[in-house]
Homo-oligomer: A and B are copies of this chain.
């Protein structure tokens, strides 16, 4: 079998090497195309700018015979999805490569290297970078996907699957029309899976492949005290203090290791598979350097690592407020105290069930739970009253490690060097929409230098990082 292994090695090396050579030979050509794209302002709120971007990208795709067109919302006013495709005769699978062409809002006076829409190349060699809004987040995804197509065409190769391309125009505005657009263009967008090309590489350096995200739901708990603020001297020790009551309530929700003590909080969790556990264990642990950077003398989780812990449901206090402190403080018993809570969800959780568990816990502490402020009659009647409000939230999404999409992407990433495989991000993205509307799984490829200042001033992409990304994406396109 030795000759067979050698042949495989040769093929693998060849597949990875060829786009690399093409990219090395076409750096200037790629930059000459990229910088004008970055010069078009792309804040989603400005619909005329978004259209200019869309038209420009459609032209870039037309030059590549990708049959581009705009997938519009029903009333035609939302930023359109840009769609293109490369049909491959005989292909048995169809994958969609996704990026977004809108960017975060800008505060031009904060930019120190160049104004946000005047892209500028700074530095030399490995440290050369392009500075501009969306240089990494996420026009780099748009450019890398199109350049990877060039690399394939140049060698007369073709993708290993029917390739569909989708570029979204309002991701940074929270994708308010994405569900409706997916539903409206369901036929066009039929596929076996989505590859999201977005986000920075792992903090330890290498690109990152993530197979899922946590879900998220926000809620607020307000505990009520006296109907009007009271003098803390005349009434202190007698009138119940809502800040203390809230403190007791919050303290009852977690133990000293940070484990949530709310009944059933971990019950719905679909356990990680052995393979997922192994993948998590293989991730370079950023714990020590993060603890150092953040000045943390301890961490929650009773010794578990950050990478392990982000695969559990969480309960975080985002903020807390009762009357005021510092110069605005007064000697009062406040009328109320509020905590904003953020629940992160993993596979198996639903926002409704998880919120209900928190509500049940509050009830179990003796509280009457309302979804509005109490009346005076309710205040007199119930010793403890909490007003609980919530947002809709959304569930987690994760593609199994043994799913063909995950397997194919892992092979492609590995062929291009070290990479980090994460079963799930700690953060949240509405990837459940893709499953809900189209029944398709998704994975996320994060390629750009992690110190790219995305969402902030002086956003940039390292040119090396961009070029490597093109090679990686060409590898993804051709991976069996």
Contact = CB atoms under 8 A, between A and B. Distances in A.
Interface of A: 214, 216, 218, 220, 226-228, 230-241, 243-244, 246-254, 256, 258, 291-301, 306, 309-310, 312, 314, 316-326, 328-334, 337-340, 342, 344, 374, 376, 378-385, 425-428
A240 B318 contact: no
A217 to B, nearest CB: 11
A426 B236 contact: yes
B236 A316 contact: yes
A237 B312 contact: yes
18 contacts: A227-B293, A231-B426, A232-B314, A232-B344, A233-B427, A234-B427, A236-B342, A236-B344, A237-B310, A238-B299, A239-B296, A294-B379, A318-B325, A318-B331, A319-B330, A320-B323, A321-B322, A326-B340
Contacts of A298: 240, 383-384
Given A243-B339, A244-B317, A320-B323, A237 B329 contact: no
A240 B340 contact: no
A232 B376 CA distance: 36
Report how many copies the assembly holds: 2
Please report whether the interface of chain A is mostly helix, strand, loop or mixed according to DSSP: mixed
A31 to B, nearest CB: 31
Given A250-B244, A294-B227, A427-B233, A319 B325 contact: yes
- Residue in A232, A249, A328, A376 whose Cβ sees the most chain B Cβ within 10 Å: A232
A385 B298 CA distance: 11
Closest 5 CB pairs between A and B? Answer: A295-B379, A233-B427, A319-B323, A298-B383, A247-B250
A253 B244 CA distance: 9
A297 B385 contact: yes
A297 B384 contact: yes
Given A319-B324, A321-B321, A322-B320, A309 B237 contact: yes
B250 A297 contact: no
Given A379-B297, A382-B297, A426 B240 contact: no
Contacts of A248: 247, 250-251, 256
B333 A316 contact: yes
